[in-house]
Amino acid sequence: MKVIDHINKATSTLFSFEILPPLKGKKIDSIYESIDYLIEFAPHFINVTYHREEYLYKKRDGGYLEKVAIRKRPGTVGICTAIINKYKVDAIPHLICGGFTKEETENALIDLQYLGIDNVLALRGDPIKTEATFVPKENGHAYAVDLVNQIENMNKGIYLNEETQSAHSDFCIGVAGYPEKHFEAPNFSTDLKFLKAKIDAGADYIVTQLFYDNDKFFKFREACKNAGINVPIIPGLKPISSKKQLTALPKIFNIDIPEQLSDALLKAKDDKEAAAIGVEWGINQAKELIKNSVPCLHFYTMGKSEAVRNIVKAVY
Ligand code: FAD
């Protein structure tokens, strides 16, 4: 079922979460363990992230270094299908522009269609570690809006090879939004214009970057409304689970930690205490967001299902 139909049918705030595929070579059981922790709360959908290739230099005989491309976390689509079969819950693959030509994207979408997957989260992807800025693959997409256009075209039966008479797909398309602005955007308003372009291209809903200050989310939601963005906006939440994250999260996700939360975390004597503070903050955030009628709470689990479980248990 489409995310948008889940939202339209709902009489209260929905719950969803996001997982990462296991590291290459690890079993899928770790994924099932994370989901088993949360499944009793009847999530309406589960997102599975996509991880593109990274480049490593391997030492070869004679002292040469060979550049090798590896994908540390493959298996996004396989995991989605496994989740749908095992739990009968909608699973949403993340699809990125990075590393894909348009044709490879089309083929990936055709696979998703055959597998009965109704939803896609369309993203650009970050620059790979060895690149300063995002570089699209030759004949690939430079921005998420271009990917949304391609999916929307397929939904109308327009494939890359126009001579092919093709059955139209029917994907529900999600895109990313940034309450604290995307790190590359020159300013908040320009970022919002590009977000609107994704909606105008056919995206059905927005999932936000994680944030810890609800006021920033409410301002973002209001700014979206004023900009003519009328699709559901799903807030993304991630409980802080260690003292280290106080500096790691702002660096990785380009977000602020509110002073009240950072003061509390700085005083925490160990990670156990920090995690308890993170859960308490998450519960308060979730309660206020529900009170303010968000369509769904989306949790980034990042391998920490227990903290998410404690928050969900307190608010549902
Ligand atoms: P875009 O919407 O393309 O925006 C990227 C930047 O370009 C922004 O600064 C925007 O303002 C600007 N921009 C947009 N259009 C134009 C234009 N036409 N001209 C000039 N500038 C423009 N990454 C992964 O690799 N895998 C994942 O599974 C994944 N999941 C995510 C899930 C969520 C909910 C979120 C919020 C992010 C996720 N990401 C993931 C990270 C995401 O790929 C990065 O944040 C990436 O840097 C931007 O992706 P985007 O889709 O927002 O890009």
Between CA 149 and CA 157 the distance in angstroms is 12
131 CB near ligand 1 (under 6 Å): no
The whole domain housing 197 covers: 3-315
* Per-residue pLDDT, 303: 83
Q: What percent of the chain has pLDDT over 70?
A: 99
pLDDT band at 165 (very low <50, low <70, confident <90, very high): low
Parallel, antiparallel or unpaired: strands 233-237 and 205-210: parallel
CA 284 and chain centroid, separation = 22
Task: Please check whether residue 119 is in contact with residue 147, taking contact to mean a CB–CB distance below 8 angstroms.
Answer: no
User: How far away, in angstroms, is 148 Cα from ligand 1 center?
Assistant: 12
191 CB near ligand 1 (under 6 Å): yes
User: How far away, in angstroms, is 313 Cα from ligand 1 center?
Assistant: 31
235 CB near ligand 1 (under 6 Å): no
**pLDDT tens-place string over residues 67-83:** 888 889 999 999 999 99
**pLDDT tens-place string over residues 191-203:** 999 999 999 999 9
Nearest Cα residue to 239 out of 165, 149, 311: 311
Per-residue buried b or exposed e for 93-105, using 16+ beta carbons within 10 Å of the residue's own CB: bbbbbbbbebeeb
**pLDDT tens-place string over residues 205-244:** 999 999 999 999 999 999 999 999 999 999 999 999 999 9
pLDDT band at 89 (very low <50, low <70, confident <90, very high): very high
User: How far away, in angstroms, is 152 Cα from ligand 1 center?
Assistant: 18
**pLDDT tens-place string over residues 105-130:** 999 999 999 999 999 999 999 998 88
Asked if residue 164 has pLDDT above 70, the reply is no
What CATH code is carried by the domain that includes residue 122?
A: 3.20.20.220
47 CB near ligand 1 (under 6 Å): no
- Comparing 49-58, 99-108, 244-253, 257-266, the range with the smallest average pLDDT is 49-58
- Tally of domains within the chain: 1
Indicate which residues carry an active-site annotation.
18
Nearest Cα residue to 14 out of 60, 38, 45: 45
Residues 6+ away with beta carbon under 8 Å from 294:
13, 233, 234, 235
